[in-house]
Amino acid sequence: MSFIVGLTGGIGSGKSAAAREFALLGAAVVDTDIIAHELTGPGGAAIPGIRHLFGDASIDSRGAMDRIWVRGRVFADPSERHRLEALLHPMIRAESERRLAEATGPYAVLVVPLLIESRDYRNRVDRILVVDCPEPTRIDRVVQRSGIGQDEVKRIIAAQIPRDERIAAADDLIDNSGSLDELRARVGALHQRYLALARRE
């Protein structure tokens, strides 16, 4: 794929909703969150490594990573989070590169929650698109969809890059504090821009 948009945003900002709209318009979407879930799901390729790092308690009865247990551990101890990232990130990167190489469509959208934090990703994308909305909205969305408490969501947000730094790194910005129709309109406008840029490539 010759033209790649890196899509990112803080937890609860609406990255997945934006990615779905791009996919509906014909863009090839490669979502590293989906890849991570596959790697850490029942029988996933990362399961042996996770068990080695954190022990049997980190694996649930289905043979998947116990997300609640691991989340509690890694957000309480940054060194543990770095160990998990050192295991998962190379696997996610290799699989995302494979999928991008096989992608068809006018351009690709690579969804990476930690795009700005992972500096080398800047070399892998042509544009950085940040999906953003105010922190209270993000907290409410995550609590409603996942059932985890506000304090835990705030801890996750605190572990991510500050909002202003993420916005400053953006080539393009979507304000996703409104309705789905508003998001759809903003994605549609960017889709036209990306089609034009991809043609130039």
Q: What confidence category does residue 174 fall into, taking pLDDT thresholds of 50, 70 and 90? A: very high
Instruction: Please tell me the least confidently modeled range out of 18-22, 111-115, 116-120, 183-187.
Output: 116-120
Q: pLDDT digit string (tens) for 100-119?
A: 999 988 999 999 988 888 77
For residues 39, 131, 128, 94, the Cα torsion angle rounded to the nearest 10 degrees is 0
| CATH for 195 | 3.40.50.300
Q: Is 122 a member of any domain?
A: yes
Q: Are residues 114 and 95 in the same domain?
A: no
Task: Note down the domain range covering 124.
Answer: 1-27+107-201
What is the number of other CB atoms lying within 10 angstroms of the CB of residue 112? 24
Give me the pLDDT at residue 1, please: 61
Task: Tokens for 25, please give them.
Answer: 């318009």
* Number of domains making up the chain: 2
Q: Indicate if 198 and 112 belong to the same structural domain.
A: yes
Integer CA distances (angstroms), 171 to 9, 12, 52, 116, in order: 13, 20, 40, 12
